[in-house]
Structure 1
Amino acid sequence: MSTNSVLYDHPGPRARVRNAVLTVVFGVALAGLLWWVYAKFDEAGQWEGALWKPFTETATWTQFIWPGLRATLWAAAVGMVLSLTFGIVLAVGRLSERRWVSIPAGALVEFFRAVPLLIMIFFVFYGVPFLIQAPVTAFWAVVIGLTLYNGSVLAEAFRAGIRSLPGGQSEAAYAIGMRKSQVMQLILIPQAARAMLPVIVSQLVVLLKDTALGYIVAYPELLQRGVNDLAANKGNIVAAAIVAAAIYIVINSLLTALANWLDRRSQRRGIRAQRRVATGADRAAGTAGTAGTAGAIVGEPQG
């Protein structure tokens, strides 16, 4: 019996009819909502060609949208790398058997998850300079805020993934002489990352969108350059916001597609590895059986 048949019961005739009706109703409601939004914008003159004409000009993309998009992607890329690293460190710290490590790590996770990201960016930019007696750039204020918040959320994802793995894997690794750091690095964390990949990708998508909060410290990201600055020069804030939203949707869709591709690839590699292990075990069993048969023949008494 397949896993799908256990976890999911196929709907019967009445359920299929009900699902089809609900799908049609939802589709009609969604189409009506979109038409209502379009009509209201049309009444306000937001679809006039003069408001959308700047997006057909090269200067709009080179002076406003592309610089903002580049700053958004750069902050998101650095924030993703640091958040993943910070999350793994905190997850390992929370799983430590030493209380002087696990308790502070847990406190950091709970604290950074509780503080709003906007306040964190604001404090890093305006408050930290009083502590270190040096200014903090808008870029690093955004990146540090994204790292602290998203890293603490990812730490819980990694910890849940590690907790979900069978305990026998760790016991087997310790039995062959591996240290705990090796067990974490070579066995547990890679498997936890694969198991929690959907959660990790979802949080990275949130991180990418949260770069828009950099406007609080005047970081020139896509919202600041592609919406605020562009609208100030062209007077088309709704059109600029729609274009920026479309760009965010495309980028996040590509990120999700990449994650799905990596997930499928890791699953295929896992299946191939299991097949190799099964084939090796069958060959070993066959060899042992042949050797036993030969030994029995050699050991037979001569008549």
Structure 2
Amino acid sequence: MTGASVLFDAPGPRARRVSLIASIIAGVVILAGIAWVIMTLAAPRESGGITLPGMFDPSRWNIFTDPEVWGAIGRGVVATLQAAAVAAVGAILLGIAFSLLRSSLIAWVRVPTAWLLEFLRGMPVLLMMLFILLVASTGAFWAVVIALVLYNGALIGEALRAGLASLPRGQREAALSVGMREFQSKMLVEFPQAFRQMLPIIVAQLVVLLKDTSLGFIVGYNEIIRTNINNLGSFYGNRYLFSLFVVTLVIYLAINLTLSWFARWLSRRTASGYGGGKGRGKVTDPTNPAALLEAEAVADRIAASRGLGKYDGHGQ
């Protein structure tokens, strides 16, 4: 029995033939659906007794010959990247602080931090933005940035905690044996290794952070979507909404796919695994949302095995 068929029997000729036929049928259905969508968008339509051209008609795309349009789009891209960059730096710094507090041996530090992390992770990001904007009157930019820092800092903190928990205990013991204190061991020996191990997941979380900047549309921040769909769409009219939507989609895809590719490349370079070295050489897809959950589960299991419960106050 090969490694590829440990959990199931290898398909026979009939099963392979059925699978091939099903794949061909599914491919034809998908292509037909795509063709139907394209023809529907390209077809002229009636609106108020007026025949409007299809979505791919040149008259719906002629605004992109105007440099002012691209200047406005560029300002929206810069605003998005600016908010994402500031929030990314803040989230990483906050995540580092959370990971250190969350992995503390002192119960009155560790337990409140655990509850705070659960609160921040359970709070919708948009609700955070609205609360910060209405209560603190910070302005749209800082409402977006602070909310993203709090939410993503909590997630990055859990990822770094998982990295710290997955390190072999011998790392700390070796540091203590040469005269380092607990805090020195954690900062100089354990944390650099944990950060490198969890770096692909952190980068993937920053991709999510970048996409969440689109929520700034609701609080009045002029990121890409608000600039393109709301501002330019209102100025030039509904005729250009589809073309502006397509341009916005392409920009987001270009940025996010580039960052996702970088996260996967980084994962292959670091070959990060969990479980105190058991997974060395195992490459986890950092863009998979289950990757962070898996890391947290491993961290909780290791912490429990060392007498450090998830929320309890038992020391090591």
- TM (norm. structure 2) is 0.73
Rg comparison, structure with higher value: 1
Q: Is the 8 A contact 2:204 2:263 kept in 1?
A: no
C-alpha deviation, 1:161, in angstroms: 2.1
Q: Of the candidates 165, 168, 172, which is equivalent to residue 166 of structure 1? A: 168
C-alpha deviation, 1:170, in angstroms: 1.8
Deviations 1:226-267 (A, max 9, x none): 221111122222221121111011011221233344444445
2:63 is the alignment partner of 1:54: yes
Q: Of the candidates 140, 143, 152, which is equivalent to residue 142 of structure 2? A: 140
Identity %: 41
2:220 is the alignment partner of 1:212: no
2:46 is the alignment partner of 1:38: no
Alignment of 1:167-246 (within 5 A): 167-235=169-237, 236-246=240-250
| CA distance in structure 2 between the aligned counterparts of 1:195 and 1:207, rounded to whole angstroms | 20
- Relative to 1, partners in 2 of residues 1:13 and 1:189: Cα closer, same or farther, differing over 3 Å? same
- Relative to 1, partners in 2 of residues 1:9 and 1:233: Cα closer, same or farther, differing over 3 Å? same
Aligned to 1:90: 98
Secondary structure of 1:217's match? coil
Q: What is the aligned residue count?
A: 259
Deviates more, 1:136-145 or 1:256-265: 256-265
- Relative to 1, partners in 2 of residues 1:53 and 1:86: Cα closer, same or farther, differing over 3 Å? same
Which residue type is aligned with residue 257 of structure 1? W
Aligned to 1:284: none
C-alpha deviation, 1:34, in angstroms: 2.3
- Relative to 1, partners in 2 of residues 1:8 and 1:175: Cα closer, same or farther, differing over 3 Å? farther
- Relative to 1, partners in 2 of residues 1:10 and 1:251: Cα closer, same or farther, differing over 3 Å? farther
The alignment's C-alpha RMSD in Å is 2.8
- Relative to 1, partners in 2 of residues 1:229 and 1:10: Cα closer, same or farther, differing over 3 Å? same
2:257 is the alignment partner of 1:249: no
Which residue type is aligned with residue 210 of structure 1? D
Aligned to 2:89: 81
Deviates more, 1:90-99 or 1:234-243: 234-243
- Relative to 1, partners in 2 of residues 1:233 and 1:19: Cα closer, same or farther, differing over 3 Å? same
Q: Can you give the 5+ residue segments of structure 1 that lack an aligned partner in the other structure? A: 130-135, 269-303
Secondary structure of 1:218's match? coil
C-alpha deviation, 1:124, in angstroms: 0.6
Q: Is the 8 A contact 1:194 1:263 kept in 2?
A: no
More helix by share: 1
- TM (norm. structure 1) is 0.76
- Relative to 1, partners in 2 of residues 1:8 and 1:40: Cα closer, same or farther, differing over 3 Å? farther
C-alpha deviation, 1:172, in angstroms: 1.9
Q: Can you give the 5+ residue segments of structure 2 that lack an aligned partner in the other structure? A: 46-53, 273-316
Which residue type is aligned with residue 210 of structure 2? L
Deviates more, 1:243-252 or 1:174-183: 174-183
| CA distance in structure 1 between the aligned counterparts of 2:129 and 2:187, rounded to whole angstroms | 31
Q: Is the 8 A contact 1:227 1:241 kept in 2?
A: yes
Alignment of 1:113-152 (within 5 A): 113-129=121-137, 136-152=138-154
Deviations 1:83-106 (A, max 9, x none): 111112111111101122112211
C-alpha deviation, 1:81, in angstroms: 0.9
